[in-house]
Each structure stands twice: as structure tokens, then as C-alpha cells.
Structure 1
Amino acid sequence: MTSSSPTPPSPPSRGSWAALRQWAQALRPAPLRVDGRERLRVVLGACLGLLVTAGLSEWLMPHGAGLPWLVAPLGASAVLVFGVPASPLAQPWAVVAGNTASALVGIACVHWLGAWLEVAAAVAVALAIGLMFLLRCLHPPGGAAALLMVLVGVKDWSFAAEPVLLNSCLMVAAGMAYNSLTGRRYPHPQGATPSGAGAAASASSAAASSASASSPQDLFREADLDAVLARYNQVLDVPRDDLRDILNEAGLLATRRRITTLRCKDVMSTQLQVVEWGTPLQEAWSMLREHRIKALPVIDRARRVVGIVTLHDFMREASLELHEDWPTRLRRLLQASPLTHSSKPEVVGQIMTRQVRVVSADRPLAELVPLFAATGHHHIPVVGPEARLVGILTQSDLVAALARMEAL
């Protein structure tokens, strides 16, 4: 018999290492996008807030009662009140009611389940979370307050008032003063949102009214945001109004970026109808009517723009501002003269506008927005290499391009 040596384990495959690296990278914290000044503001606020809370609590609480004058969960509350004062989890009702109600739950669990410490601790935290959901005062330190009551074995119901309630009220008061003085809104109003299974129905029924309530710069309606939040169905540590403003601003920045990347050649009309200097007026007029356009670029043999003829040019030459018998005057203008010499215009070059603004095909589209808006231009020829005509850009082309970007 021959004994076979054990087969060495095969090294992990390259795919396994890649998956492991990807998993490890997912654990890395995202960078905090706040500057040093904001970080210093938060640090000083937490320090001052706890100092004021501790000092006043010790002074206000009766001496000789044997009770601590500051509870540990207030440290976590300070992080929220001074670090993220806009958070729904940091608002005054969340701090005061969340800590106090959770402390009461913890004390109750000590009375009911005190003989089973592990069970009492788990049930206290779970019930505290459920009660905070019910009272709309979800506050993470509340879970710590419930757990603290169990671990310390607090049975005195007044402990929820002193020091927990007292500490929480003083912390909120300090947060209101400090955040206001340092330029942060606190309390931060929390917009009401539809909840539960009826959110989608509420969103659809509120669509008409929310359209008028939204700002003209809004990229979406209030009901749209409510419907998405209802489908997301998770607690967000961002107030609804801030979330709406952030999404709007990000959308506007994206729209501006897309506008700056577009060039005239990306949106111009390339199916061109053009005429030359010697094109008869009747032919040019027929082209305008047949293609339902308002302007025709006038080019030379090298396709360079020498002018533009518009409906306004025809109206000016036919004196259409005089309403009496204007069809007759227009027919006379368009009708070719049988004579070798005529006092009236016969070809496009005699009525066209010679001073024509043209733009390069590579010019950013954003630069043309004020041009269309302020100068009254409706049609701008687009030229390419050697100033040859390659397209025409109209107000309709510009509006259509902006509408397509808005829909993205």
C-alpha cells in the first residue's frame, strides 16, 4: 500500500481576492465633507453644551439624594444636537421624549424582568425603539438610556425625570442657543410627509396642488419626493426640506454641466434650405412657405454666408404694415418684371439682411442663450471650417435641447 500525501490547499483565486478587496473597501468610511471651521464649531458646541448641562443639573438637583447628576447617553445626544442639528434624530422632541420615554421603558423592564439581566437589556432596548417610533421621537441615545437603566438596576421612576429629563431639556436649550449663535437652524423644522401604504396615493392626489407650491427652479414636485421616500421605506437622517434642496441643487448643477458640454453642432439643424444672391423672390417665397420656415441663409458659390432673407424682409418690402390691399402689394413684389430694368426688387440679394451674425459649430451652446434672449435673434447660421455654412440654429432647436436635458 502506498500512502498519499495530503493535497495542499489551493490558493484563493484572483476573483476571490477581488471580491474580498471590494468587501473591505465597502467598510471604509466615506469622507466627511465639512471643513475645519465646522468641525471646530461642533467640538466647541459639544464641550460647552455638556458643561452647561452638567453644571446646571448639579445645581438644580436636590443635594443628598444620592442620584447622579449626568447620564452617559447625553454624550451621544450632544453629538447629534451639535454635530447634525438639522437631523430629525436631533430635534428637541426627539432628544427630550426619546431619552425620557426610553428611560421609563428601561425602569419598567427592571421591575418586570430584573431577574434575567440579559433578557431585560434586550427587551428594554427593543421596546424603547418601538415606543420612540410610536411617539415620533426616534433618538439613538434613547436606546442607551434604556440599557443604562437595566445595567444599573434603576427602580426609582423619578430617575426618568431627574436626571434624564432634566439633562435632556438643558442639552436642548444649550443647543438652541449655541446653534443659533453659530449660524445653524435649531430646531430645524421637519416637513410633514405622507406615511405608510397610502403614501403613493397621497402623492398622486397631491400632484396638482404641489405643482403650484414648488419653486420654478424645482426639478421635481413635492409629491414625487414623497412617493420616492415612501418606496425607500427607511429612516433617513436628513430633514426632508434639506434633502429636497440638495437634490434640486445637484440637479441644477448637472443641467448646467450638460449645457456647457453641448456645442452648436450638437443641436443645429443640418437639413438646410438656402438661396443665392440672384435667387428670384418668387422662388425664395415659395421655399419659405413650402418648408414652413421663417429664414433662408443666402450663400455664395463657396457656401459662405453673405446674408439672410426672412419673412420680415418680404413684409418690409411689400409695406405690409399698411393693412389695406396688402395681398396685391405682395403679389406685385413677387411677380417678375418683364423689363430689363425695374425699380422694384427682383432677387433675394436686393432685400436680404447683409449684416448677419454667425456662430462657430464648436461654440458652446450656453453662450447662445443670452444671445437669443437679449438681441431678438431667431435664426443664427452655423459655420464650420473656412467659414462655410454647415447648419442653422433656431430658438426652437435651443428650447428642444434644453427640454431634452431637463428630461434626463
Structure 2
Amino acid sequence: MTPSFLARWLPQPNNGSRREQLRACAGAICGLLLTGLACHFLLAPDSASIYLIAPMGASAVLLFCLPASPLAQPWSVVGGNVVSGLVGVACVKWLGPTVGVAALAACLAIAAMFTLRCLHPPGGAVALTTVVGGASVHAAGFEFVFITVLCNSAMLVACAVLYNNLTGRRYPHSQQLAPAHPHATADQPPSIRLGISPDDLDAVLRQHKQVLDISRDDLQAIFLQTEMRAYQRRFGIVTCADIMSKDVLSVEFGTSLSDAWHIMRQHTVGALPVLNRARRVIGIITQSDFLRQQTMDDYHGVRYHLRLLLQRSGLSHGDKPEVVGQLMTASPHTARLGTPIIDLLPLMADAGYHHIPILDDDARLAGIISQSDLMAALYESRFAELAA
């Protein structure tokens, strides 16, 4: 046998970190223990009946090791296990508990899960359990499914929701919609107009005609990150420190709105970082913040309302904003000196950011990058490619 033939039978490398593996193991023991104790208390306090079925161990693998899998989502777990149990009980009552009936029950359970869009591998084990589980399971019949299987599945899902979210894993991992365009129009975000779009993925997945254990939004995110990595390898890594503006104009929380506006107009800048005394960024104020006031909706009176906004009221208390801190966007998105500029593309193209403050190693303001800076850097990279 050739090495290539043997390689096809060997397991693939595990990409999960040691921490992720420990997180999954701890989640499985916590989920199964809590599910077993709760169901034992609710269903079988005298230990005379079944309160935890074996297929829950397989469900725990999916829920805590692969919480992003479409096969591990709440409807897949609860619906798949319950539907499979109902199919198994129906087969037993109709044909009796034989090996052939067990195989038929698993087959029909898979078909039912496909139809109801709740495919869950442990569901096949639930169908087998209802057929070969013994006299106590047969005697319980549909009660076994609606009480034991349903209670086990629901409790395990509840534990998975709590544990995964507490440990930094989004669950349920529902299909995310395409990012909204910052201008609220029907156009797709710029980053996917020429790249891989959800429609492209849907078309290819339909041609693939197989079940994939990964959601479409995860698949799209992986493709996007792969494209960015390939771009960096091809053109080299250009960081924020290479292209940022370093002589940055800034204001403080208590700077008057009129002073901030005059700085923007005098220096022809569209945004000013707002710093505290330690030169740490606490916000950012842009020209859009001035024009976003409700009184600016009538374009006939923009000049008049802007003059009123910039003019001090002279009151110690009031609803009218007087200083930058009352109008700024607090805790703006920032980047570090060593951040590759390719990481800023989704933020500026899709999320609508026009200016991103750049921080040094001490989290103090070191510069700022505008959309113009980013466009110029990408143009230089493209020009260098054509020249080569």
C-alpha cells in the first residue's frame, strides 16, 4: 500500500487549541451532569425509570465541541431527537422490536429529520434506542419520547446556551444575514460586490448537493479571511503605522462645539479624536455628528440651526449640547500601530467608518487613518503589482 493510500485513512490534524479542547470537555461534563441530575429529580426520583439516555452523550459532543455546527442548533437537537424517537416508537408498535425494525427506524428517522430540517446524528441513536432499549422503553412508548427524550434534549440545550455564551462561544449559532449597508440602501456592501457573496455560496452549495457541517456565514467568513491572508502574502504586510497621519488634531471632552467646528473647518479635516488628559481616546467627533441633530432634518434651515448649535446658550443646565463630550461618539473603534491595513477594509467599506484612531503600545493616540489614507495605500499596492 502506498503512503498516499494510507494517508486517506489517517485522522486529520486537530485545529482546536488545548484551551478549546478543555473548554469542550468541561462543558460536556457540566451539561450532562446538570441534565442528569435535573431529569433524575423530575422524572425518576425513585430511580425506577430511565431519566438519562445514552444518545445525549453524542449530543453533548456536538453542543459543546461544535456549537457552530448546523447539526448542533437547538431545533436540530430537540427536533431531531424527538422526531427520531417518535419514528422509533411507531415502528416498534407496528412491526415489533427486531433488528430489521431497528434499521428501518433509523432510516425513517433520518428521512424525517431531513424533511423537517432538524438533522441531528444522535437522532439515529434515539430511534435505535426506542427499538432495542428493552421492555421498559417499549412499555413507556410515546411517553418515553415526550417526557424522557424531550426533557433530556431541552435541558442539555439550555446548559449549552448558558455554558457556550459564558465561555465566549456564540450559541445558538443562527445564520447571520449579510452586513447592512451603512447608507441603508439595497446595494450590497462594497467588500462583497466583487468578492464572494451569499448568493455565490448558495449557488455553489446547491451544486454541491451534500450536507456540510458548517453554516454559510462561517464559510463566507473563512473565505474572506483566507482572501485577506493571501493578499498579505502577495503584497506584504502594510501596517497602520506605515500610512497613518501622525500630526493629529484632537480635542478634549470639555472643548466647546464652536471651537471643534472651527478646527475642522480651518484644517479641512472631517473628524477629531477626543482625548483625556492621559492622551487616551475616549471618543471621536465628526462633521456628521454636527449635522445629525434632529433640527437639521430641514435642509432649508441647516445654516441657521448649525449657528444655533455652535452658539453658547449661557445656561448651566439644558438640553442643548454645549461641549464636544455631549455630541461625540463614545468608545470609537480603534486599531493598533501593528494592525495590517487589510483588517481595516471591512470597517471602512462595510461598517461605514471614515476615520479610525491608531493607538500605540500604551493605548495612547499615535495617529489616525482616514478612508483617503487607505485608498492611497491600496492604490500604491496595486500600482506596484502592475509595475512588477
Within a 5 Å distance, the mapping from 1:2-401 to structure 2 comes to 17-18=1-2, 21-63=3-45, 66-114=48-96, 117-153=98-134, 154-155=137-138, 156-191=141-176, 212-213=188-189, 215=191, 219-260=195-236, 399=382
Contact 1:94 1:139 in 2 (8 A): yes
TM-score relative to the length of structure 1: 0.55
Deviation at 1:211, TM superposition (A): 5.6
Equivalent-residue separation in structure 2 for 1:214 and 1:91 (angstroms): 31
Contact 2:40 2:47 in 1 (8 A): no
Contact 1:211 1:221 in 2 (8 A): no
Equivalent-residue separation in structure 1 for 2:49 and 2:212 (angstroms): 36
Counterpart residue identity of residue 184, structure 1: R
Equivalent-residue separation in structure 2 for 1:166 and 1:227 (angstroms): 38
Structure 2 unmatched runs, 5+: 179-184, 238-341, 343-368
Contact 2:88 2:131 in 1 (8 A): yes
Equivalent-residue separation in structure 1 for 2:193 and 2:123 (angstroms): 39
Contact 1:106 1:146 in 2 (8 A): yes
Q: Deviations over 1:5-48 (max 9, x none)?
A: xxxxxxxxxxxx43xx3221111111111111111100000000
Structure 1 residues 253 and 169, CA, compared in 2 at 3 Å: closer, same or farther?
A: same
Counterpart residue identity of residue 246, structure 1: I
Contact 1:129 1:138 in 2 (8 A): yes
Number of the residue aligned with 1:268: none
Equivalent-residue separation in structure 2 for 1:144 and 1:94 (angstroms): 14
Equivalent-residue separation in structure 1 for 2:121 and 2:206 (angstroms): 22
Contact 2:44 2:51 in 1 (8 A): no
Equivalent-residue separation in structure 2 for 1:376 and 1:251 (angstroms): 18
Deviation at 1:226, TM superposition (A): 1.1
Deviation at 1:80, TM superposition (A): 0.5
Deviation at 1:78, TM superposition (A): 0.4
Contact 1:84 1:90 in 2 (8 A): yes
Equivalent-residue separation in structure 2 for 1:219 and 1:140 (angstroms): 34
SS of the residue 1:236 aligns to: coil
Structure 1 residues 404 and 219, CA, compared in 2 at 3 Å: closer, same or farther?
A: farther
Structure 1 residues 218 and 187, CA, compared in 2 at 3 Å: closer, same or farther?
A: farther
Q: Deviations over 1:129-168 (max 9, x none)?
A: 0000111100000000001111124331100022110000
Q: Deviations over 1:189-229 (max 9, x none)?
A: 12589xxxxxxxxxxxxxxx986146469731221111111
Answer with 1 or 2: which has the greater Rg.
1
Equivalent-residue separation in structure 1 for 2:144 and 2:16 (angstroms): 38
CA RMSD of aligned residues (A): 3.3
